[in-house]
Every structure is written in C-alpha cells, then in structure tokens.
Amino acid sequence: MANPLYDTLFGAHDGAPAPFLHLPDGGIVSHAAFLARARAFAHALTGLGLEPGDRVAVQVEKSADALALYAACAQTGLVFLPLNTAYTPAELDYFVGNSGAGLLVSTDEAAPALAELAGRHGAAHLTLGTDGTGTLADLAEGQPDSFPTVPRDETDLAAILYTSGTTGRSKGAMLSQKNLLSNARALADLWRFGSSDVLLHALPIFHTHGLFVATNIALLTGGSMILLPKFETDAVLEALPKATAMMGVPTFYTRLLADPRFTSETCANMRLFVSGSAPLLAETHRAFEARTGHRILERYGMTETNMSTSNPYDGERRPGTVGLPLPGVEVKVCDDQGTELPRGEIGVLEVRGANVFEGYWRMPEKTAEELRPDRFFFTGDLAVQGDDGYVTIVGRAKDLIISGGFNVYPKEVEEALDALPGVAESAVIGVPHPDLGEAVVAVVAAEPGQSPEPAALTAALDGKLARFKQPKTILVTDALPRNTMGKVQKAALRATYATLFA
C-alpha cells in the first residue's frame, strides 16, 4: 500500500535539484535537499518509538526545518498538529492533553516550561530552532539518507488542527490525506500553478492557509517559495519582483496599499494575488486594482473544510464575494432546519466534498451536531448564493471574530476578563478595523463601587491569552445592554462601536 500524501506532495520531487525554498538569508534549499532533511527527521521521530497515527504537536517558529518536520510526519504516518506560536503554556496544556500527543516540539526558549508540560501528559519533548539547531536536529544528525515510507490510506489522518466555537473548549478538526490532497489538486489546477511559479510566502505555517493551501500547492506542482518569517512591508516589497504569486490575508494588502513604494512596477512579474482567512473589503479590492492593475482573487474556506469556494482565475473576480464552489465541492444555503433555500435568500452555508474533514477529535457529539449524516458540514456562516453560483458571506451565525486573519472566540476572552478584579461581566465583539479587518473590543461592566482601569485589565491578560486575542480597546461601563430574556445584545454593541476605528 502506498502513502498518497507523501508520494504525491513530496516523493514526486525527490532528488529534484530545482529550488524549493528561498530563505531570508539568501540561501536556497532544493527539493532534494529538503526531502533529505525530512528523511533524517523521520529517522529521529521513529527512533523515539512513535508509531503511525501518533500525534506530533508542534509550536515552533517558521523555518525550512519546520516544514521538513511536516514532511517527516507525512512519511512516517504520524499526525501533524501545528500550534499557533502565540499560544501560552496554559493554552498549550489543553492541546497536548486533549490530543494525547506522543511528542511536543518547541523552541529552545520555551523548553523549560514546555518540557515539564509534555512530561505531565506523557509526551516526549524536543526543540527545533530556525537555524538548524535543537534537540530534534541533534537526533537527525548522521541518520541514513533513505527512509522507507510508511504505507497509509487516503482515509488515514494526516493532521489535526484545533479550532473552536464561541462556547466550550477548542475542537480538533481531523484532516485526512484525502482532505488535503483533494484540495491541493483542485486549487493548483484552478489557480494555474506550475513548476515555474515562485510563491511569496509570508503567512504563518500553523494555519490552514499557510500550510495546507500555500505550501501544499508549491509541493504538489514542484514550484518554489520565498519563505519570509512573517509579513513585514519592507521584506515583502523587496521580494515581490522575484515572485509570481502571493497568498495573504486582507491585512497584507491594506498594509501594502498604505506604502507609496508599492506600485504596478513592483508587481511587474506577478500573475496572481490571493486573499483569504478574513473578508476582503470591496474598497480594498478596488484600490488594489487601481494601484497595480491586478484584481485580488478572494476565496473562502475553514479549518474543517479547507477551501470550498474561489473566485475564478479566468472570469469575473467579483468584489465582496468568495466566488464559486471548487470543482468537486457542493455548497448550499439552508434554513435553521437544514432545508435548502432558493437562490438569493440568506441562510447558513453548508459544504460537502472530499475537502470536508472527518470530524472532531474525541468529540463525537460535536461532530454529529455539525457534520450531517449526508456529509454536509454546517459552517455557521451566513451566506447568499446568486443565480450565477457566486457565494457571498454576509455574516456569521456565531460571534467569531477574525482579526488579521486569526480566529478569536469571544467566550474565551470574556472568561479571562470576567475573572479579573473589579469586573462584573464583559462582552467581547468584533469592530471594523481598516488594517486588521476586525479588531477585538471588550465592553466591561464594573462591579458596584469599582472602577477597573482599562490599562490594568489589558496588562492582566498578558500570559493568559495570545496577543492576537487580547482586546485592542477595553471600554468600561456600568451595565451591558440586554434584551427581555436577559441576553446581552452584542448586535447593539457592534452598532454602537462600529466607527470606533474609522
């Protein structure tokens, strides 16, 4: 039996001398050298006693070695579990424990705290740096040049990505080899990627967008990537003339537009700009075209579904929409009972296809709630589909906030705020922001006789929440608005503070 994911994404280019990664220091890693490094890592992982299906939790900085670890997990049949680098040890404790990870890989800087955490959950602990160092690299030193790829089926798990709703603990979305491969194939074909493409990669690699969309497409097609640690305007402007394509979140494009050095000449070699992970304002779309002559291609996806829709490569890239269903993907807009609505009516978007995940890790009840028996996934996003098939996302049934491309779940932030002295209750909302798309804003009701200071509340969240989850602004009030049933009226709060950052 073969290993579809490894054989298709990685093995097809084994030995290829063509560049795969262009590094920030000017170095180049070929496809062959990348896979040789991955094989050394594969020996190191199996040497720890890890077996196919075991989970490998990874919280490291973006680097060539971090991607090689992903490849090594694919070759050994291990389940890759990338974790946001902003998560605190308190947050990681849940992910490692819930996943039952057999190994936690972290940075050297985080090692003292995370080694204890891993041990408490019965996991091994290794480190990996951005410069080829770390205990994982030490174990890989001197390992054989070859590794027998572990047979796997397309239904076997390849990765778990944690997401969550507005209530409850984070959910581990189980992604199979079929989920990842079907999506990479569809997108590479739709977006016309080939071996001559050079993808400017400034996205994080702990997220579907940067790892399973951008990286998988480059691997599948034998192209190369300019691997930037993160988005920095100067670095992106320097790299753009050498690239042919770029994938980003709306924040990337608003920041480029804010810089007068970003011109049509800068993009002379580019053929494609893709945007996702958060809504792209129609104004940004129009301003980008006016500045560069390029129309940004917006698409739509979720952790649980990978990508589901996309504006066309050839054809109308319509501002404000997320385009058409991908080949092999079915979408429908339904009412609360799951009955499909006529075209043009607003309802909840449901998605079905080989891209849709296998369910939530160790949460069968939650899986049954959101993944219907006919395999349509209830996205929770409110949408409308026109007669021509174009899908427009008009809101969210849940209170999810997407800030700078990252998901922020209000309940988690509210619980942290409510535990602080002087706070009786809080309501966390997303407010339109010109750079981030949405900014996290907290409205706090003070306890009687108390006057908590916003600056003190903000400081108290450090170490408890990742930076991107922390409110940009905290507003203190006497009471939160409620309806007759006693529920906090977040819609009223969003309306009140809609122009806060205008």
In sequence order, the β-bridge partners of residue 431 are: 439
DSSP 330: E
Nearest-5° Cα angle at 220, 218 to 223: 40
Average pLDDT over residues 427-440: 94
Asked whether the predicted pLDDT for residue 309 surpasses 60, the reply is: yes
So what's the pLDDT on residue 395? 67
Q: Which residue has the higher pLDDT, 394 or 41?
A: 41
Residue 105 and residue 108: Cα distance in Å, rounded?
9
Average pLDDT over residues 90-111: 96
Residue 398: pLDDT band with limits 50, 70, 90: low
Q: Which CATH superfamily is domain 1-152 in?
A: ANL, N-terminal domain (3.40.50.12780)
Assign residue 298 a region: left if phi > 0, alpha if psi is -120 to 50, beta otherwise? beta
Q: Which residue has the higher pLDDT, 97 or 447?
A: 97
Instruction: Write down the domain spans for the chain.
Output: 1-152, 401-496
Q: Which of 254, 299, 307 is nearest to 278 (CA)?
A: 299
**Half-sphere exposure (Cβ direction) of 186: Cα atoms closer than 13 Å:** 24
Task: Give the dihedral sign, CA 184/185/187/188.
Answer: positive
Asked whether the predicted pLDDT for residue 115 surpasses 60, the reply is: yes
| DSSP strand pairing (224-227 vs 19-22) | parallel
Average pLDDT over residues 451-460: 94
Considering the domain delimited by 401-496, tell me its CATH architecture: 2-Layer Sandwich (3.30)
Least confident of 154-168, 180-194, 285-299, 347-361: 154-168
Whether the CB-CB separation of 153 and 159 falls below 8 Å is answered with: no
So what's the pLDDT on residue 412? 83
Reported as a single tens digit per residue, the pLDDT across 456-489 is 999 999 989 999 999 999 999 988 897 644 568 8
Residue 494: pLDDT band with limits 50, 70, 90: very high
Nearest-5° Cα angle at 442, 436 to 445: 170
Average pLDDT over residues 230-255: 96
Residue 37 and residue 31: Cα distance in Å, rounded?
10
Average pLDDT over residues 182-209: 97
Average pLDDT over residues 307-318: 97
Asked whether the predicted pLDDT for residue 308 surpasses 50, the reply is: yes
Average pLDDT over residues 257-273: 97
Kindly state the tokens that stand for 173.
Answer: 């979305």
Kindly state the tokens that stand for 384.
Answer: 């409308």
**Half-sphere exposure (Cβ direction) of 498: Cα atoms closer than 13 Å:** 6
- For 439-452, letters b (16+ CB in 10 Å) and e give bbbbbbbbeeeeeb
Average pLDDT over residues 362-387: 94
Least confident of 123-127, 267-271, 292-296, 411-415: 411-415
Kindly state the tokens that stand for 39.
Answer: 């094989």
DSSP string, 421-472: TTEEEEEEEEEEETTTEEEEEEEEEEPTT----HHHHHHHHBTTB-GGGS-S
SS (H, E, C) 100-116: CCCEEEECCCCHHHHHH
| Identity at 338, one-letter amino acid code | G
Q: Which of 123, 107, 14 is nearest to 59 (CA)?
A: 107
Average pLDDT over residues 251-278: 94
In the chain, % of residues over pLDDT 70: 97
Neighbours of 368 (CB within 10 A): 12
Residue 80: pLDDT band with limits 50, 70, 90: very high
Residue 1: pLDDT band with limits 50, 70, 90: low
The Cα diameter of the chain in Å comes to: 70
| Identity at 104, one-letter amino acid code | L
Asked whether the predicted pLDDT for residue 27 surpasses 50, the reply is: yes
Q: Return the axis-axis angle of helices 64-76 and 31-47, rounded to nearest 10°.
A: 60
In the chain, % of residues over pLDDT 90: 82
Average pLDDT over residues 66-90: 96
Average pLDDT over residues 45-63: 98
Give residue for tokens 């480190």: 127
Give residue for tokens 């619980």: 415
Burial tier of 131 (Cβ tally within 10 Å: 0-12, 13-18, 19+): exposed
DSSP string, 48-117: TT--TT-EEEEE--SSHHHHHHHHHHHHHTPEEEE--TT--HHHHHHHHHHHT-SEEEE-TTTHHHHHHH
- For 299-337, letters b (16+ CB in 10 Å) and e give bbbbbbbbbbbbbeeeeebbbebbbbbbeebebbbbeee
**Half-sphere exposure (Cβ direction) of 185: Cα atoms closer than 13 Å:** 14
Q: Which run of H or of E encompasses 162?
A: strand 157-163
Average pLDDT over residues 343-363: 96
Q: Which of 418, 409, 435, 407 is nearest to 474 (CA)?
A: 418
So what's the pLDDT on residue 394? 78
Average pLDDT over residues 110-121: 96
So what's the pLDDT on residue 15? 86
So what's the pLDDT on residue 59? 98
Residue 165: pLDDT band with limits 50, 70, 90: very low
Q: Which of 245, 293, 284 is nearest to 265 (CA)?
A: 293
Q: What is the mean pLDDT of the chain?
A: 94
Average pLDDT over residues 99-126: 97
Asked whether the predicted pLDDT for residue 166 surpasses 50, the reply is: no
Asked whether the predicted pLDDT for residue 122 surpasses 80, the reply is: yes
Average pLDDT over residues 426-439: 93
